[in-house]
């Protein structure tokens, strides 16, 4: 072992023990990102997991605390679901991939050691990017991407595109209210600053319809798909978000709405502030950390505590799953990577949990999933679950 390698292994040990200084932590991060060969250090951690699982059939608390809390939570700066919430008969895998954190587990399958993967990038599918279509009130269409910088004018309305963001100038005028629609395709994401300063992030396969100026006593927008809102507070002009027949009333707050047509429910998750969720004569008021789940078929609304970090992981650049069936994971991959998934295993009882960077190519994620049981065939943009 070289002196340099020994030095960084000691740094990693100090980091896991919570004894690294800020300078040492920065040095360790920089070194881990210089070469994929450093992955061997984390493969060693994986073997330690597997040995513990084989001997004890559960994850010892000390391993959970040291590896999961110190390494994963602090690197991602977000709460990670506690490993020892479940007692597994199967093994777990923990890998740090250059370009993103991977932490995936299956409750039903044994995970073999994951070797470094040589990718054929010519056949791979790249992750989504910042892109959208802006449809103006007169029907004109403007294509937006992550590199564009331009000014768009609509009468007295000035719209600026800067990289992956669309920003409307704050104004209130006497002109007739006209509406724009921002549509994000599969394989994309985009964010927008509305005329009142409210900020909306749109996930893949989503759209937002909104006025170019908020006149009158209310601010109203319509969404399809998924969006994260940070609404500028204005008690004299409450903010409303409409999703089909459901309406969310807001004064000033942060929340996520997930309303994809291929999902079983419409979920509104409150991060800060307070919102009222309305469906016909039914109304539910949410507190921070709560989620309202609307059944589109019955119209019933149920409220329960939510894992907020998991819900908004997409906004921070991650997929995060907590005991999720493979079908749920496939729907998310389909939207983000713009692929068609052939998956007809209704009786598949496997459940997965973990956090994966959305910046990884699709093949990396498929290899991770395959290590926990499923097998895939990728042909162009068609993915078959075997």
Structure tokens at 93: 């895998």
Q: Is residue 385 in some structural domain? A: no
Q: What percent of the chain has pLDDT over 90?
A: 45
How do strand 239-243 and strand 266-272 relate by DSSP bridges?
Answer: unpaired
Distance between CA atoms of 383 and 386, rounded to whole angstroms?
9
Residues 150-202 have pLDDT tens digits of 888 887 788 999 878 999 987 655 667 799 999 999 999 999 999 999 999 99
Domain count, the chain: 1
Structure tokens at 303: 């409220």
| pLDDT for residue 73 | 42
Q: Is residue 246 in some structural domain? A: yes
Q: Is residue 298 in some structural domain? A: yes
| pLDDT for residue 27 | 74
- Residues 28, 75, 325: CA angle, nearest 5 degrees: 135
Q: Is residue 49 in some structural domain? A: no
Q: Is residue 347 in some structural domain? A: no
Distance between CA atoms of 145 and 164, rounded to whole angstroms?
6
Domain hosting residue 184, numbered range: 129-311
Structure tokens at 379: 């042909």
Q: Is residue 107 in some structural domain? A: no
| pLDDT for residue 131 | 95
Residues 130-141 have pLDDT tens digits of 999 999 999 999
Alpha-carbon dihedral 354, 360, 363, 369, rounded to 10 degrees: 0
Q: Is residue 8 in some structural domain? A: no
Residues in the chain with pLDDT values less than 70: 1-3, 5, 13, 15-18, 20, 22, 25-26, 29-122, 171-175, 346
Tally Cβ neighbours within 10 Å of residue 87: 10
Q: Is residue 373 in some structural domain? A: no
**What's the chain's length in residues?**
386
| pLDDT for residue 86 | 29
User: What CATH number is attached to the domain comprising 251?
Assistant: 2.60.120.1440
Can you name the residues that pair with 188 across neighbouring β-strands? Answer: 129
């Amino acid at each position: 072992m070289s002196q340099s390698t020994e030095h960084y292994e000691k740094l990693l040990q100090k980091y896991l023990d919570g004894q690294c200084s800020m300078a040492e932590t920065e040095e360790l991060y920089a070194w881990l990102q210089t070469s994929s060969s450093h992955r061997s250090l984390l493969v060693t951690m994986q073997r330690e997991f597997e040995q513990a699982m084989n001997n004890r059939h559960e994850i010892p608390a000390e391993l959970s605390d040291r590896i999961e809390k110190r390494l994963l939570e602090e690197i991602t700066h977000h709460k990670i679901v506690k490993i020892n919430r479940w007692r597994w008969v199967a093994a777990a895998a923990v890998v740090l991939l250059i370009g993103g954190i991977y932490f995936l587990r299956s409750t039903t399958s044994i995970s073999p050691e994951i070797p470094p993967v040589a990718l054929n990038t010519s056949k791979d599918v790249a992750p989504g990017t910042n892109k959208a279509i802006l449809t103006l009130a007169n029907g004109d269409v403007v294509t937006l991407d992550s590199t564009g910088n331009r000014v768009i004018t609509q009468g007295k309305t000035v719209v600026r595109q800067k990289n992956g963001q669309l920003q409307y100038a704050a104004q209130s005028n006497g002109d007739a209210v006209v509406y724009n629609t921002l549509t994000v395709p599969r394989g994309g994401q985009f964010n927008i600053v509305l005329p009142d300063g409210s900020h909306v992030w749109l996930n893949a396969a989503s759209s937002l319809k909104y006025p170019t100026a908020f006149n009158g006593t209310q601010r109203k927008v319509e969404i399809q798909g998924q969006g994260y809102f940070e609404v500028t507070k204005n008690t004299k002009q409450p903010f409303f978000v409409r999703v089909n027949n459901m309406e969310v009333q807001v004064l000033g707050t942060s929340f996520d709405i997930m309303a994809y047509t291929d999902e079983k429910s419409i979920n509104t998750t409150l991060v800060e502030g307070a919102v009222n969720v309305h469906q016909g004569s039914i109304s539910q008021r949410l507190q921070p950390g709560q989620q309202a789940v609307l059944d589109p078929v019955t119209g019933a609304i149920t409220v329960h505590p939510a894992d907020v970090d998991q819900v908004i992981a997409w906004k921070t650049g991650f997929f995060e799953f907590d005991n999720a069936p493979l079908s749920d994971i496939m729907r998310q991959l389909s939207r983000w990577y713009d692929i068609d998934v052939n998956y007809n295993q209704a009786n598949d009882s496997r459940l997965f949990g973990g956090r994966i960077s959305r910046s990884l190519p699709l093949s990396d994620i498929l290899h991770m999933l395959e290590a926990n049981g499923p097998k895939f065939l990728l042909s162009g943009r068609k993915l078959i679950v075997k």
